[in-house]
């Protein structure tokens, strides 16, 4: 279980909003971080603190399949993204990068930015004393998340770490 400050975004947050194309030329994710979400809110990347969470509406991560989008969110220190739904390619790219994603249909409509959530993965999210049930991710995806990403999970599985 962990606690996280909520940053609330909307529906259809696409990968061009998460990380605009012009910043893909930077050679490291660290250099890209300040520009995350800049088309939506210029200063958001600088306000997100390690451990904070994003709560969004439908279709988070739609658009192109750029892997840098979930990488930059993870580099910001976001503990998890809770959305009504995720674009499939973003969902898998995020898991492969060790970023926890949770689908929950009701949380977005019932919370405000700045509130603090208690998250117990596979069980519930509690905000202002109200519990929102969340499903378990499949065991193979939890193995990837627990290892910190797909490459680390495969190294661990094959005895290389």
> What is this structure's pTM?
0.94
Domains in the chain with CATH codes: 2-136 (3.20.19.10)
CA distances from 118 to 54, 96, 113, 114, 133 (A): 13, 24, 14, 13, 12
**Burial (Cβ within 10 Å: 0-12, 13-18, ≥19) of residue 50:** exposed
Distance CA 142, CA 91 (A): 13
29's tokens: 């994710």
pLDDT confidence tier of residue 65, bands split at 50, 70 and 90: confident
Per-residue pLDDT of 2-50, as tens digits, reads 999 999 999 999 999 999 999 999 999 999 999 999 999 999 999 999 9
Per-residue pLDDT of 72-95, as tens digits, reads 999 999 999 999 999 999 999 999
């Amino acid at each position: 279980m962990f606690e996280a400050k909520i940053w609330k975004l909307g529906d259809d947050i696409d990968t061009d909003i998460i990380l605009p194309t012009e910043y893909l030329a930077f050679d490291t994710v660290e250099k890209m971080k300040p520009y995350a979400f800049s088309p939506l809110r210029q200063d958001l990347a600088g306000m997100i603190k390690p451990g904070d969470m994003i709560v969004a509406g439908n279709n988070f991560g739609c658009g192109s399949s750029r892997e840098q989008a979930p990488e930059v969110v993870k580099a910001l220190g976001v503990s998890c993204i809770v959305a009504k739904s995720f674009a499939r390619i973003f969902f898998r790219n995020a898991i492969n990068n060790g970023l926890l994603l949770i689908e929950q249909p009701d949380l977005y409509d019932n919370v405000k930015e700045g509130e603090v959530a208690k998250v117990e993965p596979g069980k519930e999210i509690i905000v202002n004393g109200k519990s929102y049930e969340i499903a378990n991710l499949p065991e193979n995806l939890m193995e990837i998340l627990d290892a910190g990403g797909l490459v680390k999970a495969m190294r661990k599985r094959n005895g290389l770490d």
